[in-house]
Amino acid sequence: MTDDELSLDRLTADVSVFQRRKGHRFSSDDMVTAWTALQVCPEPASVLDLGCGLGSVLLHLAWSVPAATLVGIEAQEVSFDLLERNVAHNSLGHRVTVHLGDFRDPTVRLAAGSGFGLVTGTPPYFPAGTASDAADEQRMRARMATRGGIEAYVAAGSVLMADDGWLVLCGDSDADARLHDAAAEHGMHLWGRVVFVPRAGRPPLFSVWCLRKKPTELLVLDRVLTPRNLHGDRTADARMLRAFSGFPETGTA
């Protein structure tokens, strides 16, 4: 991978990440996952990001919570190389530790540790074989569940989180039933949900679910984010998300 294949892009006002120009790139789901996680767990002491890719959620959380220590696990070597580079580029190696491997592997999980106050993940949206594969392997593995989908993330998160911790996962909104089934199987309970609608009048693009080990009668977070109105102008939700990443408001267009 040469530098010509990469771009350096701002993730937050103070964090920039290298990503492949024609590979998997960070998107709104990463920012919304980080935002949602901090709505329910605003000051985590320890964070684990499962399948963290090039580090977009992990590094956003590191920037947002400067007192936290963070761990990331990533299985794709091409993404892990970018992850290591991004941790070093942002001088976060003293707080962020990353591991190469499949988080379903007990050896990898042992190396990562356990008892995390916050566990996050953005599972591939599509089960293997249910959507067209991207031509690029990195992009394909980021969207197709070749190493396990949202069920695998719930299973791992339920083991690696603290008893009073939070598990925050992002996925295709159509996966809501699968999320609930996996949560029930592993003794987890839904405490919060954010639905992302890219533009008013359009169907949801993704959802973020917040899970805990103890039951609750009422959701502590139940929100729809819609960054564009019917005319395509930025909404208060869009301005809020920009501010969350430290970016100034640039108008409504």
Q: Is residue 40 part of a domain?
A: yes
Paired strand residues for 169:
121, 209
pLDDT tens digits along 152-178? 999 999 999 999 999 999 999 999 999
pLDDT tens digits along 181-217? 999 999 999 999 999 999 999 999 999 999 999 999 9
SS3 70: strand
Q: Is residue 17 part of a domain?
A: yes
Find the length of the chain: 253
For residue 248, what is the DSSP state? Answer: P
Q: Which residues of 107-144 are buried (b: 16+ CB within 10 A; e: fewer)?
A: ebbeebeeebbbbbbbbbbbbeeeeeeeeeebbbbbbb
Question: Do 61 and 37 touch, CB atoms closer than 8 A?
Answer: yes
Q: What is the torsional sign of CA 181, 186, 190, 194?
A: negative
Q: Where are the alpha helices (DSSP H) in the chain?
A: 28-40, 56-64, 77-89, 106-112, 137-143, 150-160, 176-185, 236-244
Domain that holds residue 184: 3-244
pLDDT tens digits along 9-31? 999 999 999 999 999 899 999 99
| Cα 118 to Cα 48: distance, rounded to the nearest angstrom | 6
Q: Is residue 240 part of a domain?
A: yes
Q: Is residue 250 part of a domain?
A: no
Is it the case that residue 179 has pLDDT exceeding 70? Answer: yes
What does the block give as tokens for 126?
């599509």
* pLDDT computed for residue 17 by the predictor: 98
What does the block give as tokens for 141?
């593995």
Overall number of domains in the chain = 1
**C-alpha pair distances (Å), 115 with each of 27, 45, 163, 189, 246:** 28, 11, 7, 18, 30
For residue 175, what is the DSSP state? Answer: G
Q: Is residue 249 part of a domain?
A: no
Q: Is residue 64 part of a domain?
A: yes
* pLDDT computed for residue 140 by the predictor: 55
**CATH code, domain with 127:** 3.40.50.150
Q: Is residue 251 part of a domain?
A: no
Query: Would you say the pTM of this structure is higher than 0.75?
Result: yes
| Cα 6 to Cα 21: distance, rounded to the nearest angstrom | 5
Paired strand residues for 195:
207, 224
Q: Where are the alpha helices (DSSP H) in 41-175?
A: 56-64, 77-89, 106-112, 137-143, 150-160
Those residues whose C-beta lies under 8 Å from the C-beta of residue 192, and which sit 6 or more positions away, are 36, 39, 40, 209, 210, 219, 220, 221, 222
